[in-house]
Structure 1
Amino acid sequence: MTSQFQFQLDSLFQRCHSLIHIKQLQAHLITTGKFHFHPSRTKLLELCAISPAADLSFAAQIFRRIQNPSTNDWNAVLRGLAMSPQPTQAISWYRSVSRSPQKVDALTCSFALKGCARALTFSEATQIHSQVLRFGFDADTLLVTTLLDVYAKTGDLDAAQKVFDEMPKRDIASWNAMISGLAQGSRPNEAIALFKRMKEEGWRPNDVTVLGALSACSQLGALKQGEIVHGYIVDEKLDMNVIVCNAVIDMYSKCGFVDKAYSVFQNMSCTKSLITWNTMIMAFAMNGDGYKALDLLDQMALDGVHPDAVSYLAALCACNHAGLVEEGVRLFDLMKGSVVKPNMKHYGSVVDLLGRAGRIKEAYDTINSMPMLPDVVLWQSLLGASKTYGNVEMAEMASRKLVEMGSNSCGDFVLLSNVYAARQRWHDVKRVREAMITKDVRKVPGFSYTEIDCKIHKFINGDQSHPNWKEIYAKMDEIKFRIKAYGYTAKTDLVLHDIGEEDKDNALNYHSEKLAVAYGLISTVNGTPIQVIKNLRICGDCHTVIKIISNIYNREIIVRDRARFHRFKGGVCSCRDYW
């Protein structure tokens, strides 16, 4: 092919912005006899498969006209399939090319693995992995990075770690894939450790790296680690990226420091996105600052940013956590008349808002007024409210609805059991627990984290596995003595088992959040705030005890439970005992 014709061809490729243009180019290649010239044919397939004007069905038609497709031809279509809404087709295409006379190359395997990653198909990835080893492609850093990304996304973090550890050569993408995989795969401690190791080995984390590290810090509520990552972001000027700024705001809010989050929000040098506003509104919501969240929603509109469904949901959550019932109902009614119509989550938030306020009949009526069928979450919210206010009839009705919908959540059974136990209907408690055993439903164990000297410590209820458990238990005995002198009486009615009062008292005394607070007291100097992250909702007794501890020991204690933050200081909580 002459250089002049190649120049003309490149110019034609650059002007292909629609399927019509691609078809005209195909006709041109056929009439000039250049369709069978491999580079131009492959380029045509790539245009069909991955360009903005992509049409995979037309790419397949072109491919079928090729008598002896090259590996590059196969790869062009395979790449498009891996990026398509049906990535499993990439796996089928890979099997076809494996059976063809053409040999697969590293790119073939890489595109197939990308399809596996998007389709979350673990077994197919392992098969391709064995072929990668057999073909000797395991020295290809890009390919092996794609492989470890597949393992991480499909949940086999051990396999991903093994691939990472055995890589003869790593690049920044390899580190990023492993850190993100650990952060998203519920191993945030390891993600933070790998981020540290990466810097120690002389690598410069980029915006993708810090997003993974910030996600891990957010999960753990690891403020000190998060501040280190934020410091690096500022030094490297990565805060010019709005996505990174959003992640920093989210990290500070999930560590319980909404003022720090708001400072980042106010001082951003890049343009705020809709996600930025939504993240900040949700930060105020989680921390119980309902009025600030509503003010920010108004400010958002004044700044010309139109609220979306997430904005309204965050604001409704803010009303929910702050007990702003009338404001929440008013916002919901306003939303009904706006462009953004309420969806299932908005209805769920309003049902929860009314239920928490004891307006259970209104919550029930809201469910019945919905234009769509209610989901499991709405009935669970009603069941939770019924438990809080001792409405046995409504609890039984909500429980029946959940059974009809096929829900098998342990929370459904536990809530109903708790309703009966609060009324000392032990026969019904036994019946519910027998149903749990029959259906193999297991209660999620409670656990808590606290960060001390940049190290995360985990506790479970009644934990004696911590190296300092004897000192922790001694501190708990001291706390128990001092809070009783303060007038505390254990809320043994919250222990929903048919056991003696002394056993109930002991069961309450060693809840995971209390152990975490006790460890914080013995491990930090006076005046240092203590942070605790709990996987479940904080119980009423722990809430009362931690309020008293904050006053007796003159400590600020920040507890993030499943739904929100509780900031204890001077014997009061930021939630105003409404959560």
Structure 2
Amino acid sequence: GVRPPLPDHALTLQAVPRAAHHLGPPLLRALPPSPLPRPPRALSAHAAALPHALLLLRSLPSPATNDLNAALRGLAASPHPARSLLLLAGRLLPSPSPPRPRLDALSLSFALKASARCSDGPATLQLHALVLRLGCTADVRLITTLVDSYAKCDDLASARKVFDEMTVRDVASWNALLAGLAQGTEPTLALKLFHRLVGSFRELPPREAPNEVTMVAALSACAQIGSLWDGLYVHEFVRKMGVSGNVRVCNALIDMYSKCGSLARALEVFHSIKREDRTLVSYNTAIQAISMHGHGGDALKLFDEMPTCIEPDEVTYIAVLCGCNHAGLVDDGLRVFHGMRVPPNVKHYGTVVDLLGRAGRLAEAYDTIKSMPFPADIVLWQTLLGASKMHGDVELAELAATKLAKLGSNVDGDYVLLSNVYASKARWADVGRVRDTMRSNDVRKVPGFSYTEISGVMHKFINGDKEHPRLQEIYRALEEIMSRIGELGYEPETSNVLHDIGEEEKQYALSYHSEKLAIAFGLIATPPGETLRVIKNLRICGDCHVVAKLISKAYGRVIIIRDRARFHRFEDGQCSCSDYW
């Protein structure tokens, strides 16, 4: 729910010492005296001058509010934004001398920007109390910054409440909430807000009219939920607003189309950007799009075609390595990795471990982990565990599981992967032991579910679904599907059901996976020939992959499935992943 109004005691300066205690000791107490005999009248917040500015601030006998604000602004934008909060806290603590500078709306605005960068929700709440106490609620820019800070601290309920209480809003206010919802946990609500804004934008004053920032936020929401219908609507609005040439909007369009399963449209937007206008983000987004759709060779080609004036960064190399990983281009991936012009981080090593592991080169994958200049994190050991499961290496799977336990990992995937390794070897006693440990640690397996969008409406299915209003039609369609693909030679891959149950029960368990239900619904709810798009929260299983290929051939449909790791495009009995995923 929405956060209730702040209690009266939170609106007084009595709350300030508690805020200062939370934020830590004042930064300036640790600073040495200024070596300069005559401080200037104004401070600079430029990054290079920041240390000197802080020394000068301490040496001022009666610092003005502008002096404090310059330091707060510089620290908030620095690599260590928490120091801005420490500085503000120090200025709030009682002190007989020298007199403390008064805080104003700018002081709080810079501090809120710092708390947003730190994702420090408690600090944002305390700064909100100060905003109320100092009577700054009429300052639209400050309240917009407050909305943005709450959103970036994942407190979307408070962000919405502050936004709803604003008597005057400008486009920046809308954009702050839109971006927070779109990039947080409520992208669907972001799109509703966008439609609300668009529905009345002709009557809005210029300062409230949507702009390119609004478009980027809305497109981000479409990308997150995979709604191509909404994405096309936003793109049309982009054209009407005359911002389709804005490179930031184009980059967001590339990302949206690729994550909604339309690689062709994504690349069309990329190629519409003049070569001299393309930015590093443009190339990174396009390479990532190509990689997600399994075209590793094309991703490498675009990487090689990047102009020399644009230097690849960490994101570029992750995108290229992912392309090699999804396409099984091991040697190319290793070449890119060893030729990196930036220091590789744990994500780069993780992608290489996955690249080697999927190819069955488990010893090299393990050696890569051991050679890293920093300790392996949980994700790396989970990657090695997944590769061990894929290739049935029990010893390495047990080693990875032990490392994960030592690191405190307690997620369902760790147990499921190890259990599946044992199950593939029919070691049912070990499977039972792992499941007993899951129960004792209160770890529950995340259920599989899938979405499909029909005429702008998202339909959700879970494994063995019993709730959809057209369930009987879906099940009848699924029976007909199984009969038709059976004529093409389909036999259930019951090895994917890793339970000690009978063959018939395994076939039944396979038949009602969520992606099969979503595809069956798509076939009865759309006209012949229309592309079907499905989003799945987990990786697609081997049997569903075979079924999707055969359905694409039997029904003449293109089926695009976006699973947790990548896209699969099924057409005429083949998949874009070439059965490598």
TM-score using structure 1 length:
0.84
Aligned to 1:87: 81
Shift of 1:527: 0.9
Counterparts in 2 of 1:294 and 1:53: CA distance versus 1, 3 Å = closer
Q: Structure 2 vs 1, CA of residues 54 and 206 (structure 1 numbering), >3 Å: closer, same or farther?
A: farther
Q: SS in structure 2 opposite 1:388?
A: helix
Distance 2:242 2:423 in 1: 56
The alignment partner of 1:300 has SS state of coil
Distance 1:506 1:266, change over 3 A: same
Relative distance call for 1:80 and 1:314 in structure 2 (3 A) is closer
SS at match of 1:55: helix
> For 2:251, which of 246, 251, 267 is the aligned residue?
246
Query: 2:29 maps to which residue?
Result: none
What does 1:276-315 correspond to in 2, within 5 Å?
276-300=282-306, 305-315=310-320
Q: Deviations over 1:29-75 (max 9, x none)?
A: 6xxxxxxxxxxx4xx03x2xx235532563454355334x5544544
- Give the aligned partner of residue 528 of structure 1: 530
Alpha-carbon spacing, 1:116–1:375, altered in 2? closer, same or farther (3 Å): closer
Q: Contact 1:176/1:209 (CA < 8 Å) preserved in 2?
A: yes
In structure 1, what is the equivalent of residue 171 of structure 2?
A: 172
Contact 1:82-1:114 at 8 Å conserved across structures? yes
Paired residue for 1:111?
110
The answer as to whether partners of 2:39 and 2:60 remain within 8 angstroms in 1 is no
Please give the per-residue CA displacement for 1:353-404, whole angstroms capped at 9, x wherever unaligned.
2222223233334444445544433332222122112222222222223333
Change (3 A) 1:56 1:519: farther
Task: Give CA-to-partner distance per residue, 1:71-108, whole Å, 9 cap, x none.
Answer: 44544443334334443343344445556676644333
Distance 2:394 2:453 in 1: 40
Task: Specify the alignment match of 2:219 in structure 1.
Answer: 214
Cα deviation 1:130-168 (Å, max 9, x = unaligned): 343344432322222122212211112122112222221
Q: Which residue of 2 aligns with 1:38?
A: none
Q: 1:255 aligns with which of 231, 243, 260?
A: 260
Rounded to whole Å, the distance in 2 between the matches of 1:84 and 1:370 is 29
1:201 aligns with 2:200: yes
Inter-CA distance 372–127: structure 2 relative to 1 (3 Å threshold): closer
Q: What's the CA shift string for 1:512-564, capped at 9, x where partnerless?
A: 22222222222211111011111211111111111122122221110111111
- Structure 1 residues 459-513: Cα deviation after superposition (integer angstroms, max 9, x where no partner): 3323334443443334333333433444322222212223343433333222222
Question: CA offset at residue 566 of structure 1?
Answer: 0.4
Deviations 1:313-364 (A, max 9, x none): 322222221122343344445x2xx644544333332332222222323333
Contact kept, 8 Å, 2:247 with 2:278, in 1: the verdict is yes
Answering whether residue 60 of structure 2 is matched by residue 65 of structure 1, we say yes
TM-score scaled by structure 2? 0.84
Secondary structure at the counterpart of residue 480 of structure 1: helix
Match of 1:542 in 2: 544
Q: Please show how residues 477-516 of structure 1 align to structure 2 within 5 Å.
A: 477-516=479-518
Is the Cα–Cα contact under 8 Å of residues 39 and 59 in structure 2 kept in the other structure? Answer: no
Query: How far is the alpha carbon of 1:177 from its aligned partner?
Result: 0.7
How many percent identity over aligned positions?
54
Distance 1:161 1:341, change over 3 A: closer
Q: Which has the larger radius of gyration?
A: 1
> Is the contact made by 2:188 and 2:221 (CA closer than 8 Å) also made in structure 1?
yes
The root-mean-square deviation of aligned C-alpha atoms, in Å, is: 2.8
Q: Can you give the 5+ residue segments of structure 1 that lack an aligned partner in the other structure?
A: 1-21, 30-40
Residue 55 (structure 1) aligned with residue 55 (structure 2): no
1:393 is the counterpart of 2:392: no
Amino acid paired to 2:455? D
Task: Please say if residues 288 and 565 of structure 1, whose CA atoms lie closer than 8 Å, have aligned partners that are also in contact.
Answer: yes
Determine if contact 2:47/2:78 at 8 Å carries over to the other structure: no
Q: What per-residue deviation string (whole Å, max 9, x for no partner) do you get for residues 411-454 of structure 1?
A: 22211100111222111011112222333333233222222222
Name the CA shift for 1:23/1:282 in 2 (closer, same or farther; >3 Å).
same
Equivalences for 1:139-178 in 2 at 5 Å? 139-178=138-177
Q: Counterpart of 2:305 in 1: which secondary structure? A: helix
Letter in 2 for 1:144: I
Q: What is the CA-CA distance between 1:306 and the residue it aligns to?
A: 4.2
Give the aligned residue type for 1:222. Answer: S
Aligned length: 536
Match of 2:77, as an amino acid? M
Deviates more, 1:138-147 or 1:83-92: 83-92
User: 8 Å contact 2:559–2:570 — kept in the other structure?
Assistant: yes
Contact 1:63/1:73, CA 8 A, preserved across alignment? no
TM-aligned CA distance change 1:395 to 1:223, over 3 Å: same
Given candidates 568, 571, 579, the residue that maps to 2:570 is 568
| In 2, Cα distance between equivalents of 1:77 and 1:28 | 14
